[in-house]
Amino acid sequence: MTSRLAGRFAELKSANRAALVTYICAGDPGHDASLALLKQLPGAGADIIELGMPFSDPMADGPTIQAAAVRALKAGQTQLKTLEMVRQFRVEDQTTPIVLMGYYNPIYRYGPDNFMRDAREAGVDGLLVVDLPAEHDSELGPLAREAGLDMIRMATPTTDAKRLPAVLDHASGFLYYVSLNGVTGVGQADNATVRDAIGAIRQQTEIPVCVGFGVRTPEQAARFALDAEGVVVGSALVDCIAKAETPEQGVNDVLNLVSDLANAVRHARN
């Protein structure tokens, strides 16, 4: 059976365009507003959704997403509530892939076996565990594959040709290429450098490559969409929530930006 992620990338390949991958933190700024936003992202143009699992020590994230995690946790978000959000999303949408993105600690505390079972039953399609590198695949990889969940791996500008095979081993769904060193939401990547990196990756795998970190504007997204199979935007969306005077305004501002990003990505190759 074809996974939602594989199916979505096949659709987009036939349409000759990249995917817009949108990140939001579950429970930010509160459960109700976050759920409302999640449900509306596909209609605004999101092809794939990364749903952040809030954690108290998100070491790979910059100030914007760190603050989102704090807001969500203060509002009472839990792993159970995050999975319930996915369940409620699936009542209305059975086609948009959802990847849970976050850190190993909340999964470990939940219980990896129970988490994989519940995530699959909720309608999760993949996992991106930032602090669990490919060398530690045995921690979650076998459980994820048994549950039918894609295990998303990350490559960075420092991932050389010697290490790349280990990163690609057992990777599925897509490869998340971190466009610059550092944390999320800080800096801007160089397009030529990213293009060369994608070319090197494609010499070793056919897995789709999605570029993230440092992508904030429709113009930046369109440039990366020329070369990558997907473009990930997170901090710019979370910023909309942080700067809004009300949760409702935050939701609307995010959806408006997603619409602009989607339009840019969809027309990048035309």
Query: HSE-up of 150 (CA within 13 Å, CB side)?
Result: 30
pLDDT digits (tens, 9 = 90+) for 212-224: 988 999 999 999 9
* Helix (H/G/I), strand (E/B), else coil: 161: coil
Contacts of 244 (CB under 8 A, 6+ apart): 250, 253
| Number of neighbours of residue 259 by Cβ within 10 angstroms | 16
Domains and CATH numbers, the chain: 4-266 (3.20.20.70)
pLDDT digits (tens, 9 = 90+) for 91-111: 999 999 999 999 999 999 999
Both tokens of 57, joined, read 């020590």
pTM of the model: 0.94
Element (H, E) at 153: strand 153-155
* Helix (H/G/I), strand (E/B), else coil: 51: strand
Answer whether 126's CB lies under 8 Å from 173's CB: yes
Going by their DSSP bridges, the two strands 153-155 and 150-151 should be labelled as: unpaired
pLDDT digits (tens, 9 = 90+) for 107-123: 999 999 999 999 999 99
Give the model's pLDDT for residue 190: 67
Give the model's pLDDT for residue 182: 47
Q: End-to-end CA distance of the chain, in Å?
A: 32
Whether omega for the bond prior to residue 29 falls within 30 degrees of 0, making it cis, is yes
Q: What angle do helix axes 79-92 and 112-122 make, rounded to 10 degrees?
A: 20
CA dihedral (221, 224, 229, 230) positive or negative: negative
CA distances, 114 to each of 83, 105, 107, 170 (Å): 12, 14, 9, 21
Give the model's pLDDT for residue 8: 98
Active site positions, annotated: 50, 61
Element (H, E) at 23: strand 19-25
Element (H, E) at 87: helix 79-92
Amino acid present at 35: L
Cα three-residue angle 227-173-15, rounded to 5 degrees: 45
* Residue ranges of the chain whose pLDDT lies below 70: 180-190
CA dihedral (220, 222, 226, 231) positive or negative: positive
Give the model's pLDDT for residue 236: 95
Both tokens of 82, joined, read 């995050």
Give the model's pLDDT for residue 56: 86
Give the model's pLDDT for residue 181: 53
In degrees rounded to 5, what are phi and psi of residue 128?
A: -125, 100
Both tokens of 86, joined, read 């996915």
CA distances, 154 to each of 70, 134, 151, 237 (Å): 24, 9, 10, 21
